Amino acid sequence: MTSPGADPVRLAVAVEAPLHSGLHGPLDYLSERPLSPGALVRVPLGRRDVPGVVWTTAPGDDEGHALKAVTEVVDALPPLSARWCDLVKFTSTYYQRGLGEVAMAVLPPELRKLDNAGLASRIAKLRKAYDKPVPAAPAPVRPELTSDQADALAKLAEVNLPGAAPVVLLHGLTGSGKTEVYLRAAEAALAAGRQVLVLVPEINLTPQLEARFAERFGGGDTPRRIVSLHSGLTPAQRLKNWLAAHLGLADLVLGTRLAVFAPLPRLGLIVVDEEHDPSFKQQEGARYSARDLAVYRGKLEGSCVLLGSATPSLESWQRAEQGRYLRLTLANRVGGGVLPKVRLADMNLLPKVRGATTALAPALVAALAKRLERGEQSLVFLNRRGYAPVLHCTDCGWKSGCPHCSAWRVFHKGDRTLRCHHCGFTQPVPRACPDCGNLDIAPLGQGTEKLEEQLAAALPGARVARIDADTTKHKGALEASLSAVHAGEVDILVGTQMVTKGHDFRRITLVAAVNPDSALFSSDFRAPERLFSLLMQAAGRAGRDAAQADRSEMWVQTWHPTHPVYTALRQHDFKAFAASQLKEREIAGLPPYVHLALMRAEARTPEAARDFLQAAADLAAELPGANELLLYPPVPTTIARVAGVERMQMLVEASSRPQLQRVLSPWMAALPSLRATHKGVLRWALDVDPLAI
């Protein structure tokens, strides 16, 4: 509150205004004293008191007396840095979301609830805990570097000078020791008194990598403090770790995409592991790419950004080809191991009988049996959970569609349910066809449950385990399953793509991909890139122990064995695959040679969604620079209806980012004016640089 005799200071404060309110920038408030940008405050907004971040000191005018006053200054927390504010501002501007929306979304929920006294108490407890000495631990044992690793680190040291902010693409085969390069680079940054941020694509990879970093940096004469940031933490844990990062108490922060916004006052290195992974793209709210923001943040902080992958995204690969990124290569596996030999099981050679589409190739079964005889492990993955994608009636053709979505309900045999994986609608399996009463309703297609059953029947006595979203939904289930695999208690591991990347399974010598062909003919132009990456990552799970590498194999069951994706896979030739894909995209005018935005609309009817998008296109056509853009007609999304809501999308294309941004900003500001005439529209959202179309 302002005191009667004080001259109030006018402040611009970033607060989360209601969506589509048109209030995208900071709002003005009065304060009894100047506050630094980045300070946390509580301010009135409508009838509520909401948290906000001081953005700037706003210029005064004659209407200053009408402004509301700041309710509380949360000065127990040091202000967020100017570089953090710049990162949030860029995210807001580039991805076309409200400044306050982004600023509040990237702060811990618990922080937004606490008053000054409550936060001061939390900080005092945290400092007291960090003042306690770290228990003594033996000094870490560092493995001897391979020649590839030594060369990469030497070149990294040459370019990673103070303030240089290089972006380095570490292209290394699976099993080539990329993690050791991360550890050594982090070691150098920590020795210089800097902090390190490590981003991973998925929560289930965070504990594994955290253990590697704790083993390396948790002991010796100068043990380091390591914290994690991801959505799997409780609100209290997330706030504690966020505060440790912001106060400079934590030396290393490991996390998923949201951790790119972790405030780190001494940031010296950013590592993005598996930088190609689509999980780095946020799909709700501000649809940002954490990988791209990591690159931008590196420039803001003057810090090195290390992007690592065995199958880099084509965008990163092209920038390395152009010389914008430094590319370092790890061309050999640690220990001299070789990559698994890729074998294709041609499904066209199987007898043409009912059910052949979900059969296991005899050659694959024989290869699995050989592993069992030798006491080795195998990994068989199918990127579809459940028992079968659909139930159908052999008499009338009924299928288990979802009444609320334009999708099938998946048959889960374990609990005898039909579940929609889009809206969650679940029902028991009917005893007879709902349409004609026929008792012969049968599963169509194959999921991981059925695959697990088939393998157990084909290989009696084999210990088959399954890891997917259904078996790991309970706390600790994933860790327990992985521990069983590492301990040798599993002969054949069945799973979705969650088991194909990042895991160091030392006993697995065979990996098999069952029916991955659907991605070959997808309407999404990125589908071949994602499939090749997934198969290369999966192949890398085999033969990670050099002693077994010479007999490691990858099997792919396919109906299209001559497809170029499989040809490149057999040679483990990412460079050739990337070159052919980039050439195709250049000819077709696709990213990274053009720049896209996708406007999505959700409405009660498809007509309402389409009319809104068409009106939005007409609005865009009137803006300066619109003649430089190409707006495609509205079309339904791949799954057109979810939970009773109809969804349409409209693609916007430009030859450069500046061209696109010049139109997007005024366009988004004008769109709320359409609500009055398009009341059937429930919501809309813009996705800049969309990953899926």
Report whether 339 contacts 539 (CB < 8 A).
yes
Continuous H helices in 46-146: 82-94, 99-105, 109-113, 116-131
Instruction: Tell whether 251 is covered by a domain.
Output: yes
**Confidence tier at 675 by pLDDT (50, 70, 90):** confident
Does 85 belong to an annotated binding site? Answer: no
CA atoms within 13 A on the CB side of 249: 19
Among 92, 109, 126, which residue terminates a domain? Answer: 109
pLDDT tens, 405-428?
A: 999 999 999 899 999 999 999 999
Whose CA is closest to 590, among 536, 516, 529? 529
- Whether 482 and 503 have beta carbons less than 8 Å apart is answered as yes
Claim to verify: residue 158 and residue 84 sit in the same structural domain: no
Looking at residue 23, which CATH number applies to its domain? 3.40.1440.60
User: CA 341, CA 389: separation in Å to the nearest integer?
Assistant: 31
Write down which residue in 306, 335, 364 finishes a domain: 335
End of a domain among 524, 551, 585?
585
Residues 378, 522: one domain?
A: yes
Question: Has residue 181 been placed in a domain?
Answer: yes
304 is in an annotated binding site: no
Mean pLDDT of 279-296: 95
Give the C-alpha separation, 557 to 360, whole Å. Answer: 8
| Of 189, 201, 151, 154, nearest in space to 172 by CA | 151
Question: Are 482 and 523 contained in the same domain?
Answer: yes
CA distance 508 to 506: 6
Q: Residue 151 belongs to what H/E stretch?
A: helix 147-159
| Position 76 in a domain | yes
| Residue 109 in tokens | 């929920």
436 marked ligand binding residue: yes
Q: Are residues 273 and 170 in the same domain?
A: yes
Residue 617 belongs to a domain: yes
| Whole-angstrom distance, CA of residue 530 vs CA of residue 475 | 29
Instruction: Output the average pLDDT for the chain.
Output: 91
Question: Phi and psi for 392 in degrees, rounded to 5?
Answer: -140, 160
Statement to judge: residues 466 and 508 lie in one domain: yes
423 is in an annotated binding site: yes
Structure tokens at 51: 């948290």
**Amino acid identity at 232:** G
Residues 393 and 381 in one domain: no
Q: What is the CATH number of the domain that holds 167?
A: 3.40.50.300
Q: Which ranges of 70-115 would DSSP assign to H, the alpha helix?
A: 82-94, 99-105, 109-113
pLDDT of residue 61: 56
SS3 percent helix, strand, coil of the chain, rounded to 5, is 35, 25, 40
Are 327 and 246 within one domain?
A: yes
**pLDDT greater than 50 at residue 50:** yes
Residue 310, domain member (yes or no): yes
- Whether 166 and 214 share a structural domain: yes
Would 198 be classed as within a structural domain? yes
| Nearest alpha-carbon partner for 346 in 518, 561, 535, 564 | 561
What is residue 19's predicted lDDT score, i.e. its pLDDT? 63
In this structure, how many other beta carbons lie within 10 angstroms of the beta carbon of residue 60?
14
- pLDDT of the residue at 46: 85
pLDDT tens digits along 235-261: 999 999 999 999 999 999 999 999 999
Q: Answer whether residue 542 shows pLDDT above 90.
A: no
Domain total of the chain: 5
Helix (H) or strand (E) holding 450: helix 448-458
- Look up the domain containing 429 and give its range: 389-444
Beta strands in 421-579 (DSSP E): 426-428, 441-444, 464-467, 492-495, 508-514, 553-558
Q: For 323-358, how does the pLDDT look when each residue is reduced to its tens digit (9 = 90+)?
A: 999 999 999 988 877 889 999 999 988 876 554 445
Residue 59 falls inside a structural domain: yes
Same domain for 572 and 612? no
Domain with residue 654: its CATH number is 3.30.70.100
pTM score, whole prediction = 0.93
Domain presence at residue 523 = yes
Q: Are residue 184 and residue 157 in the same domain, yes or no?
A: yes
How far is it, in rounded angstroms, from Cα 632 to Cα 620? Answer: 12
Helix (H, G, I), strand (E, B) or coil at 86: helix
- Are the CB atoms for 408 and 375 separated by under 8 Å? no
Per-residue pLDDT at 674 exceeds 70: yes
Q: Are residues 329 and 221 in the same domain?
A: yes
Tokens at residue 476, please? 């600790």
- CA neighbor of 331 nearest in space, from 179, 482, 223, 178: 178
Asked if residue 299 and residue 182 are part of one domain, the reply reads yes
DSSP-H helix ranges across 132-205 = 147-159, 178-191
**What does the radius of gyration of the chain's CA atoms come to, in whole angstroms?**
27
Terminal C-alpha separation, the chain? 50
Which residue in 387, 382, 357 sits closest to 516, CA to CA? 382
Residue with tokens 């007879």: 432
Q: Percent of the chain beyond pLDDT 90?
A: 75
What DSSP string runs through 546-614? GGGGGG-EEEEEES-TT-HHHHHHHTT-HHHHHHHHHHHHHHHT-TTSSEEEEEEEEESSHHHHHHHHH
Q: Sorting pLDDT into bands at 50, 70 and 90, what band is 59? A: low
Mean pLDDT of 24-51: 92
Would you state the pLDDT for residue 683?
A: 92
